[in-house]
């Protein structure tokens, strides 16, 4: 009787071992690199998330892969992420899903890709995003950085707008998106407003028009804006030319009263404020005789020194 009980106990132990469930494994698993948005010394940047998905199932699978931006590091908020410098000084920036900077990549917007994987296969792809630093911020030169923690690479389930890391037969991953920028003592040219004299329908001694040059420099950074003679200058005179080679002289001035001339290679100086500054340019055409009918133009090179 004792031997019979021992045999039953051994059988029970074997059954117990055989009945222990194995750990469940997702049929599709996606992983990604740790992405970076590196502005360098520019105000715009482009970044990517490189992902790879593997199908462990003997049948093909298809799903929508999604990327949800994570929580921004201090002192940033979902509404306004910020990089932090060593002072500490903060630098605002934004991340977009489009290169034109029209649609923010935020908690309400996902990056998505339709993924199809063959049986026991693997596929890879890339999510692309874009960064912009608004100009005119009073941040000193130096290195700045930020992070988006728990940026999610997951699956967009049917009928929802929620990016999920884990779902039936799917497993995703969290990554940290790093952001960095280096501000240098640099100035940049912005919008240049052309001087358009319009149409001359009859004889007039002078036609007035105005344009402008926009620039951005760090606070208190000295700058110099100079204007060359254009393509058709002769001596000290700038001239416009038509397709037949006819010429019309014109001048450039610093002031609306047109008393302070921008000579050829003449310049104007100033100091940066950290915000956009506009330098007006005034240009009369002085006509001694009515020129032949035609379209006259010239191109003046504007040089920003700092």
pLDDT value of residue 117: 97
Give the domain CATH number at 51. Answer: 2.60.40.10
Q: pLDDT tens digits for the chain (306 residues)?
A: 444 443 333 333 333 333 333 333 468 999 999 999 999 988 899 999 999 999 999 999 999 999 999 999 999 999 999 999 987 899 999 999 999 999 999 989 999 999 999 999 999 999 999 999 997 787 888 999 999 999 999 999 877 889 999 998 999 999 999 999 998 877 888 889 998 888 776 556 678 899 999 998 877 788 999 999 999 999 999 999 999 999 989 999 999 999 998 899 989 999 988 788 999 999 888 776 678 888 999 999 999 998
CATH of the domain at 229: 2.60.40.1090
Q: Is residue 30 located within the same domain as residue 173?
A: yes
Does residue 30 share a domain with residue 170?
yes
Return d(Cα 216, Cα 306) in angstroms, integer. 11
One domain for residues 83 and 96: yes
**Domain around 294:** 188-305
Q: What is the pTM of this model?
A: 0.60
Domain count for the chain, please give it.
2
């Amino acid at each position: 009787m004792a031997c019979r009980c021992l045999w039953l106990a051994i059988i029970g132990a074997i059954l117990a071992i055989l009945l222990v469930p194995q750990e469940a494994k997702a049929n599709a698993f996606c992983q990604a690199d740790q992405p970076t948005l590196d502005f360098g010394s520019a105000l715009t940047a482009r970044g990517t998330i490189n992902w790879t998905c593997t199908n462990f199932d003997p049948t093909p699978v298809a799903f929508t892969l999604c990327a949800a931006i994570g929580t921004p590091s201090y002192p940033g908020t979902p509404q306004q992420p910020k990089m932090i410098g060593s002072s500490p000084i903060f630098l605002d920036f934004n991340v977009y899903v489009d290169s034109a900077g029209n649609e923010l990549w935020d908690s309400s917007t996902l990056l998505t890709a339709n993924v199809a994987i063959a049986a026991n296969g693997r596929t890879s792809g890339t999510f692309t995003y874009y960064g912009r630093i608004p100009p005119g911020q009073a941040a000193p030169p130096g290195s700045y950085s930020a992070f988006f923690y728990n940026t999610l690479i997951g699956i967009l389930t049917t009928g929802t707008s929620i990016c999920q890391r884990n779902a039936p037969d799917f497993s995703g991953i969290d990554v940290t998106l790093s952001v960095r920028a280096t501000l240098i003592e640099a100035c940049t040219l912005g919008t240049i407003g052309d001087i358009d004299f319009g149409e001359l329908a009859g004889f007039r001694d002078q036609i007035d028009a105005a344009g402008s040059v926009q620039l951005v420099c760090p606070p208190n950074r000295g700058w110099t804006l100079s204007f060359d003679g254009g393509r058709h200058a002769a001596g000290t005179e700038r001239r416009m030319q038509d397709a037949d080679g006819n010429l019309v002289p014109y001048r450039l001035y610093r002031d609306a009263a047109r008393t302070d001339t921008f000579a050829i290679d003449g310049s104007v100086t100033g100091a940066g404020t950290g915000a956009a500054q506009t330098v007006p340019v005034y240009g009369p055409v002085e006509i001694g005789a009515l020129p032949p009918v035609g379209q006259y133009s010239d191109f003046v090179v504007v040089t920003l020194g700092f």
